[in-house]
Amino acid sequence: MSKEFTLEDLKRVLLAGAGADENVDLDGDILDTDFADLGYESVAMLETGRRIEIERRISLDDGALAEARTPRELLSLVNQYRSAGHSGHAGHAAHAVHASAAGMGT
Amino acid sequence: MSASVVVTGLGIASPNGLGTKDYWSATLRGKSGIGRITRFDPTGYPAQLAGEIQGFEAKKHLPQRLLPQTDRMTRLALVAADWALEDAGVKPDTLSEFDMGVVTASSSGGFEFGQNELQKLWSQGSQHVSAYQSFAWFYAVNSGQISIRNGMKGPSGVVVSDQAGGLDALAQARRQIRKGTPLIVSGSIDASICTWGWVAQGASGRLSTGTDPERAYLPFDADASGFVPGEGGAILILENESAARKRGAKVYGEIAGYGATIDPKPGSDRAPGLRKAIELALADAGVGPRDVDVVFADAAAIPELDRIESEALVQVFGPRGVPVTAPKTMTGRLYSGAAPLDVATALLAIQEGLIPPTVHTAAISDYQLDLVTGEPRRANVRTALVLARGYHGFNSALVVRGFHESSNNQLQNTGS
């Protein structure tokens, strides 16, 4: 089983995938702050979820991902999946993106 | 009588100058931004020259949050929009969000972003494709990102008609202002100098394969053999004139007239549509050929298209009847970004009383054009005609008119 997914891990993934809002201090007490208030809208969360899936070789449920409104809730979700040993193929999020890519140049 | 629509701000990103001041000074000096491609190794591609914007560092201008989700063309457009708003003295957060809209043109979308994600798709698998691929590549992304960054929720959109789109967007912006929105951010930035974009552009068969930057893009010249593409363009702030005057804005000039046509199908014996587009634009502006002080040519550098353009100009203005220029010989053709840059250049020509030159080219005498070559020509410029044609037969013409106020401000440097 892989090691725990921590707040530091989450901050690293958020920064790499979506950057950080200048008005937000990610090093502050953000565990219970809404992602929306941290400047991360739905696409940023989709990107974050996708990166976590790749990094941890798990497959997150899109619905559950959307319901995780704060870092604490997302960490709990990821660690739940991690300990349950979900793994394997990519999540549905990636399929939607794939369809969009195929539509390019039209 | 419809409300007058005026230009109050310019944001320029061009291969020969970043920011209005740098661009205008380079253009008057005849400094070209065309060279061998540096952003990828062009060896092995038929065309190897381009007009590339040098020295643009997005992270110096934009919040870090925007970088993972934007293509180069969007970064340039966001920064040019910032410069244009600053030049216009507009602070978007002090205005009603529904009183401001965004209408840009696009010819290809964010090709480089798309290329990177498609490479991940085939080399690593679909789960490695960025979620931002859902919008970062597509045509409307510049309008969308400018709108989000500046809180502009009025009428917005994107126009896609290749190079003609740059004028069509300004015309659409004018329509929205006449329908009641006080301010529209318009114009266009295109940038797709990446290997995928290069192959797509090359498919037109119109790219110059010359390797000498001074001999590769020669519109109206006996040696014309295709054009050199470039990246960049201009973002303009368009406003209802009375609203602009009320807030004491500096006014560059008016978007006075517009006309657009589509060419007949190939092989037809009907005339090409460019002349008609010019006539429509002049009629819309309420001016005759003798009122026009300069024409910014489309300058395709395809012999057949050069002939059609020079014939249209001679038919409307008479032989050598009007000064014609193509400063895009210093930038390459910028697709949808070209015409907004020409409109911005026309407004600067009006302000400064100088027609910038066409470089390196010598017009075939049979074309009977009064081409401004070599160095800028001093002239009392009040009314300018800008032409743009898109692949597959789009023709657009736009008339801009200055006011020649005594209170014209000095050119501001809104560049880097």
CB-nearest partner of B114 from A19, A98, A104: A104
Q: How high is the mean pLDDT of chain B?
A: 95
What is the predicted pLDDT for the residue at A87?
Answer: 54
Whole-number Cα distances in Å, A54 to A15, A49, A59, B125: 16, 9, 8, 11
Q: Do B121 and A98 touch (CB under 8 A)?
A: yes
Please check the confidence at residue A101 and state whether its pLDDT lies above 70.
no
Q: Do B118 and A18 touch (CB under 8 A)?
A: no
CA distance B71 to B193: 11
- Is the distance from CB of B369 to CB of B220 less than 8 angstroms? yes
CB-nearest partner of B129 from A21, A22, A98: A98
CA distance B267 to B360: 33
CA distance B105 to A62: 35
Please check the confidence at residue B8 and state whether its pLDDT lies above 50.
yes
Task: Give the DSSP per-residue string, B216-232.
Answer: S--TTBTT---B-BB-E
| Helix extents (H) in B286-357 | 303-317, 338-352
Give the side-chain half-sphere CA count within 13 A for B371: 27
**A vs B: CB pairs below 8 A:** 72
The larger pLDDT score, comparing residue A93 to residue B226, is at B226
What is the predicted pLDDT for the residue at A103?
Answer: 42
Q: What is the mean pLDDT of residues B26-32?
A: 98
Q: What is the mean pLDDT of residues A10-38?
A: 93
What is the predicted pLDDT for the residue at B409?
Answer: 43
| Residue linked to tokens 């009588």 | B1
Please check the confidence at residue B243 and state whether its pLDDT lies above 70.
yes
- Is the distance from CB of B383 to CB of B291 less than 8 angstroms? yes
Per residue in B165-212, pLDDT tens?
Answer: 999 999 999 999 999 999 999 999 999 999 999 999 999 999 999 999
Please state the pTM of the whole predicted model.
0.91
Q: How confident is the model at residue A90 (pLDDT cuts 50, 70, 90)?
A: very low
Please check the confidence at residue B392 and state whether its pLDDT lies above 90.
yes
Q: How confident is the model at residue B412 (pLDDT cuts 50, 70, 90)?
A: very low
Residue A1 in tokens: 């089983």
Which chain A residues are within 8 Å of B65, Cβ to Cβ? 18-22, 39
What is the predicted pLDDT for the residue at B397?
Answer: 99
Determine what percent of chain B is predicted with pLDDT higher than 90.
95
What is the predicted pLDDT for the residue at A1?
Answer: 55
Q: How confident is the model at residue A81 (pLDDT cuts 50, 70, 90)?
A: confident
Per residue in B83-102, pLDDT tens?
Answer: 999 999 999 999 999 999 99
Contacts of A21-29 with C-beta under 8 Å, sequence gap 24+, read A21/B63, A21/B65, A22/B63, A22/B64, A22/B65
Residues in chain A whose beta carbon is closer than 8 A to a beta carbon of chain B?
A: 16-22, 39, 43-44, 46-47, 50, 53-54, 90-91, 93-98, 100-101, 104-105
The full set of domain ranges for chain B reads 1-416
Q: How confident is the model at residue A22 (pLDDT cuts 50, 70, 90)?
A: confident
Residue B152 in tokens: 């502009």
> For residue B149, which phi and psi values (nearest 5 degrees)?
-60, -35
CA distance B88 to B95: 14
Q: How confident is the model at residue A93 (pLDDT cuts 50, 70, 90)?
A: very low
| Residue linked to tokens 């979506």 | A18
Please tell me the CATH code under which domain B1-416 is placed.
Answer: 3.40.47.10
The B residues from 112 to 171 touching A (CB cutoff 8 Å) are 114, 117-118, 121, 125-135, 137-138
CB-nearest partner of B68 from A17, A53, A101: A17
Whole-number Cα distances in Å, B382 to B36, B348, B378, B410: 37, 11, 12, 18
CA distance A19 to A12: 9
Provide the sign of the torsion angle of the four alpha carbons B405, B20, B355, B375, taken in this order: positive
* Residue of chain A minimizing CA distance to B138: A104
**If you ran DSSP here, which 8-state letter would residue B128 be given?**
G
